[in-house]
Structure 1
Amino acid sequence: MSIKVLYFASLRETLGYSHETLTLPATIATLGDLRAHLAKRGGAWEALDVGRNVRMAINQEMAGADTAVADRDEIAFFPPVTGG
C-alpha cells in the first residue's frame, strides 16, 4: 500500500519535511497504526507520539486514530489550530 503523507505548520518545521510518499507494511491498517509507526523513527518524529496533541485527516477530511488507511490515501498530520 502506498500513501502520501503531509505535515503542516510546526510539525513540518520540527520534522523538516512537508510531505513524503510511503509504502506501508501490511501491519499498518489505521491512522493510529501509521502515527505510531512514524513516531518510532525516534528523534524529532516523537512529535507524532500518541500522547501529543496532533490532528489527522484522510483525503482532506478529519479522521480519528481508528480510521482505516487505504492504498493511495492522502494523510495529513497537523497541530491543533487556535485563533483569537
Structure 2
Amino acid sequence: MKILYFAWLRERLDRAEEEIELPPGVTTVGELIAHLRTRDEVTDAAFERPHLIRAALDTELVEHDAPLGSARTLALFPPMTGG
C-alpha cells in the first residue's frame, strides 16, 4: 500500500510517501497508524495524537475504523484550517 503524508506529518517524517506491505492483522486505518508508530521514535512522535490525523483511502475521506480493504493508497494529514 502506498502511504502519502501531508503538511506537518511530511515535515516530521521527512518523507512525502512510502510503500509498505500490510502486516498480518492490520485491517483498519487506525490499526495501520498504530503499526506505523511502532517502527521508530520519530514516527511514534509524529503520530502521538492519532485522533487528530485525518485519513483518505483512494481519495475518499474515512474514519480510523474504516477497513483498508483493497485500497491502494492511504493519505494521512493533520487537520487543516481555511481562510
Using the size of structure 2 for normalisation, the TM-score is: 0.87
Partners of 2:62 and 2:71 in 1: CA distance: 16
The farther-off stretch of 69-78 and 30-39 is 69-78
Partners of 1:44 and 1:67 in 2: CA distance: 25
What residue in structure 1 maps to residue 64 of structure 2? Answer: 65
Instruction: List gaps (5 residues or longer) in structure 1.
Output: none
Partners of 2:6 and 2:71 in 1: CA distance: 19
Instruction: List gaps (5 residues or longer) in structure 2.
Output: none
Using the size of structure 1 for normalisation, the TM-score is: 0.86
What residue in structure 2 maps to residue 8 of structure 1? Answer: 6
What residue in structure 2 maps to residue 49 of structure 1? Answer: 48
Identity %: 38
Q: Residue 44 of structure 1 aligns to a residue in which SS?
A: helix
Q: Tell me the C-alpha RMSD between the 2 structures.
A: 1.5
Task: Say which of 3, 21, 24 aligns to 1:23.
Answer: 21
